[in-house]
Amino acid sequence: MGKVLSVTEAVNVLLKGQIVGLPTETVYGLGADATNEAAIAEVFKAKNRPSFDPLIVHVPTLDAVKEIAELSEAAEQLFLAFSPGPLTVVLPKKNTIPDLVTSGHATVAVRIPAHPVMLEVLQSSGLYIAAPSANPFGFASPTTAQHVLDQLGSIISGVVDGGPCSVGIESTIVDMSSDAPKVLRLGGMALEQLERVLGGITTELSSSNPSAPGMLTSHYNPGTPLELFDDRDALLTALKSNSNPNGIGILYWGETIAHGSSFNLSELKSDSEAACNLFKGLRLLGRAPVTNIYVHLLPEYGLGRAVNDRLQRAANK
């Protein structure tokens, strides 16, 4: 249990109806045959994930999307513009995908990943693979194979090591199941990119009965309480006025701050670099000897929106 697997070994595990950690460009996923209800049940059990929170199904091609979902012309144009990549599209589902995957919804969330190893697994296995993030439910997502082994290694067959994730946060989810597209989760594809294809688009980012992953208000917990600051100076003032500043961790970006327990998401203030480093920073500070983590939020543009979305959910109790 809990070892690094080759692609061939992972495919064999999946074909036997078992679950395995798989790399994608966004985060590592906990993969299972999306048509095998017993395997899907093991995914929910391993993650301690509530059954009302649906899973994303990964497929290798646009033709495979059409095998499991009804694809409108607008949805097809969206896939052609941005896939493979960090985009998930919610579509009316076909009977191929069991209701357990979609939490009883008449729609399915589908993605064509850009990671070469994940695509090789999909093509070699011939499966549609349901793969939520490979971590216990509600905690920070894994961006390396070691993160998967640290948290789930004792209860899964293993993980394929595809290196660190290049995007580092989950995919953006767009609901295209009706005539009015809407964003259900901010993620690795910036809103501005989507708007160039779809025009103005609404967002519906939280729900107690989610039609897509990542919509619950509390999520991405690093194990240590977060306090959020819109302004860097306000964070530094709060740090200096704290009676035990050494007991505070700081997560920030921009010019380096000299402080013991700290993590700089991007010294160059790159929103894509900050997104890639987010879960790494949360994990490191979550293990640091601190009682609180002070966080400097990013500007609300590009992938900064998705980073802030994760931080705000992580700060919710």
CATH number at residue 45: 3.90.870.10
Which residue, among 146, 89, 149, 92, has the nearest Cα to 113 in the 3D structure? Answer: 89
d(CA 58, CA 109): 9
Identify whether residues 143 and 42 lie together within a single domain.
yes
- 214 located within any domain: no
Residue 26 belongs to some domain of the structure: yes
264 in a domain, yes or no?
yes
What's the CA gap between 248 and 262, in Å, rounded?
A: 9
Write down the mean pLDDT value for the chain.
Answer: 94
CATH number of the domain where residue 250 is located: 3.40.50.11030
Q: Do residue 169 and residue 260 come from a single domain?
A: no
Q: Do 151 and 35 share a structural domain?
A: yes
Please check whether residues 133 and 275 belong to one and the same domain: no
Residue 112 CA from chain centroid, whole number: 14
Mean pLDDT of 280-309: 96
| Statement to judge: residues 196 and 281 lie in one domain | no
Q: Let me know: does 220 contact 307? Beta carbons within 8 Å.
A: no
Which of 203, 237, 271 finishes a domain? 203
pLDDT tens digits along 126-146: 999 999 999 999 899 999 999
Structural domains in the chain (count): 2
Joined tokens for residue 225: 């309480």
Express each pLDDT in 18-29 by its tens digit.
999 999 999 999
Q: Region 80-102: what's the mean pLDDT? A: 97
Whether residue 217 is contained in a domain is answered as no
pTM: 0.93
Residue 135 and residue 238 in one domain: no
| Residue 236 and residue 164 share a domain | no
**Confidence band (pLDDT; 50, 70, 90) for 316?**
confident
Same domain, 89 and 44: yes
HSE at residue 49, side-chain half, CA atoms within 13 A, is 30
Q: What percentage of the chain carries pLDDT values higher than 90?
A: 89
At 194-252, the pLDDT tens digits run: 999 998 899 987 765 677 777 666 678 899 999 999 999 999 999 999 999 999 999 99
Residues 245 and 186 in one domain: no
Tell me, yes or no, whether 261 and 134 share the same domain.
no
Domain that holds residue 294: 226-315
Rounded mean pLDDT, 247-270 = 97
303 vs 282: CA distance, rounded Å: 17
Lookup: tokens for 55? 């899973």
Residue 218 located in a structural domain:
no
Residue 111: predicted pLDDT: 98
